[in-house]
Amino acid sequence: MDINPEDEISYTTQYQETFLKYVGNEYCAKHRHVTVNKLETVPSSNPVLSATVSGSYQSSFDAYDSSSDDEQYSLPNNVAATTPRQSDRAARLLTAARLYLNSPPEAPKTWGQIDPNLNDYHSDPMEITSTLWIPDITDWWRQQEETRSQYADLSNVAPDIFSIIPHGAGVEASFSLGRDVIGWRQSESTCETLREKVVIRQFAQPNNRILAGTEPELDTANTENDSEMKKDAEGRKLHRMAKVHDFLEMWQDSQNLRATQKESCAQNKQMTAVGFFSDMEEIVKASWSLFQHDGSAAFKLSERSPMPPALSAKDLPGGRTQSLNVRRIRRINRHPVTSNKDSAPESISDTDDCPNWNGDLDNPNASEDD
Amino acid sequence: MHDVITLYNDMFDHMDGVMHALAKKKTEWKEDLFFAVKLARHKLSKYYTNVTPTTGVLHMSAHIVDSFSKLRSFR
């Protein structure tokens, strides 16, 4: 039976029919050994039962547990003959089910359960566990059975259903699978490593621990410790694989980081060349053509910056600094004959530090001492 | 057992509320959270649609046997 999602009424109708089929099959046809296709024997004086009989509950008998090996369920339909008393009991069960479905849901106040939200200080504090109050449904059904209410025939359905545990250990274990694979001290393991380890472990577990391999230390004759030893060997292999994988991933990351740094460095240089500010040291190469050869202009030039004021950034290549070699020569006395021997050292010492601006400054490496 | 469908509905309502609150957020982690909740809801709805009257008879019967809810959650 499929539900049409566009039809909201069909939800409740089909769920209701599903519940009635469940009750009819599980409690009329199986538990009571009453075949529901024999419901024609129900007296037609009861209109509710007539409506019940009109629905055939044998079509989906195997839809629930056709693979069940229970002898009780494997009984053919004609094993237990339908007696009028059994038919009446089945009809009463279905009638109770229909009445139950057509009645509105119960309110907790109507049958005296303790509601802690009412601040009832005279109640037993042990029963007031928390503000999240869940009504006791099994107790409600027990009261229906004890008071022989109209739902008393239906009261044996609830304990059977509520005794089913809707969860299992396998589902619970899947939530703690990550902590089993990666411990608290393995914080640098990547999510990809975790995924691979889980996939390999889940694959190796039903395949007789094939990841452990055939190590000589494993004693195949000892079947008790074999699985534990294989599990340990598998864990060691997984750990080694994870370490290699993490190392390769870290190495690849470092290579990517290095390439990114190189690219950003080249981009930084390019940005400096077109006029952006940069933290890099700007090295200016001065040109010898900036200096003039006449003396007076040279001294005026010394008061200014060697760079022209409107020097564009394109003229700032990243070359090395070239210093100005200014040779110093001794002044020669014009009248060496009339000069005194004692005064000769003084004339030299006074002008010893004067630079010769008339020299060939464009070629500072050329020597004039020849 | 009878709380399974109720828990499904509560989780759907909670995720819808979170998605509605995070729909217009532009912070990166809020966008990531919105995407994660969206995927979780998609996964949960995939499981919930498998609970049909054919496959989820016990879940539905257990929910109906709960006298405090009955068919109210299906409406």
Q: Is A41 helix (H, G, I), strand (E, B) or coil?
A: helix
Contacts 24+ apart (CB under 8 A), A6-15: A8/B75, A11/B74, A11/B75, A12/B71, A12/B74, A12/B75, A14/B53, A15/B53, A15/B60, A15/B64, A15/B71, A15/B74
Q: B18 with B35: CB under 8 angstroms?
A: no
Separation in Å, CA of B69 to nearest CA in chain A: 6
- DSSP β-bridge partners for residue A355: A328
For position B25, what pLDDT does the model report?
A: 87
The token duo for A331 is: 């002044």
Q: A245 with A189: CB under 8 angstroms?
A: no
For position A367, what pLDDT does the model report?
A: 44
**Dist CA A193 CA A186 (whole Å):** 11
Q: B33 with A69: CB under 8 angstroms?
A: no
A80 closest CA partner among A93, A71, A68: A71
What angle do helix axes A8-23 and A84-102 make, rounded to 10 degrees?
150
For position A60, what pLDDT does the model report?
A: 40
| Interface probe with B: pick from A2, A17, A19, A165, most Cβ of B within 10 Å | A19
Left (φ > 0), alpha (ψ -120 to 50) or beta: where does A148 sit? Answer: left
**Dist CA A329 CA A336 (whole Å):** 17
For position A78, what pLDDT does the model report?
A: 45
The residue assigned the tokens 């760079």 is: A307
Q: Inter-chain contact A105–B61, Cβ cutoff 8 Å?
A: no
C-alpha neighbours within 13 Å on the C-beta side of residue B74:
25
Q: Is A328 helix (H, G, I), strand (E, B) or coil?
A: strand
Separation in Å, CA of A177 to nearest CA in chain B: 19
Q: Inter-chain contact A1–B71, Cβ cutoff 8 Å?
A: no
Q: What is the CA radius of gyration of chain A?
A: 51
DSSP string, A221-264: S-HHHHHHHHHHHHHHHHHHHHHHHHHHHHHHHHHHHHHHHHHH
Separation in Å, CA of B21 to nearest CA in chain A: 25
**Dist CA A219 CA A314 (whole Å):** 78
Q: A134 with B6: CB under 8 angstroms?
A: no
Q: Which residues of A touch B72 (CB under 8 A)?
A: 105
From chain B residues 14-53, the ones with a CB under 8 A of any chain A CB are 52-53
Q: Is A357 helix (H, G, I), strand (E, B) or coil?
A: coil
| Interface probe with A: pick from B1, B3, B65, most Cβ of A within 10 Å | B65
For position A51, what pLDDT does the model report?
A: 36
Average pLDDT over residues B7-22: 91
For position A21, what pLDDT does the model report?
A: 83
The token duo for A68 is: 């069940």
Left (φ > 0), alpha (ψ -120 to 50) or beta: where does A50 sit? Answer: alpha
The conformation of residue A28, written as its DSSP 8-state character, comes to I
Q: Inter-chain contact B57–A64, Cβ cutoff 8 Å?
A: yes
Tell whether pTM > 0.90: no
Q: What parts of chain A have a pLDDT lower than 70? A: 1-9, 28-86, 108-134, 206-227, 268-370
The dihedral built from the CA positions of residue A192, A193, A197 and A198, taken in this order, carries a sign that is negative
Query: Measured between alpha carbons, how far is residue B20 from residues B14, B24, B30, B32, B35 in Å?
Result: 10, 8, 12, 14, 12
Tell me the ipTM for this assembly: 0.76
A81 closest CA partner among A115, A46, A17, A34: A34
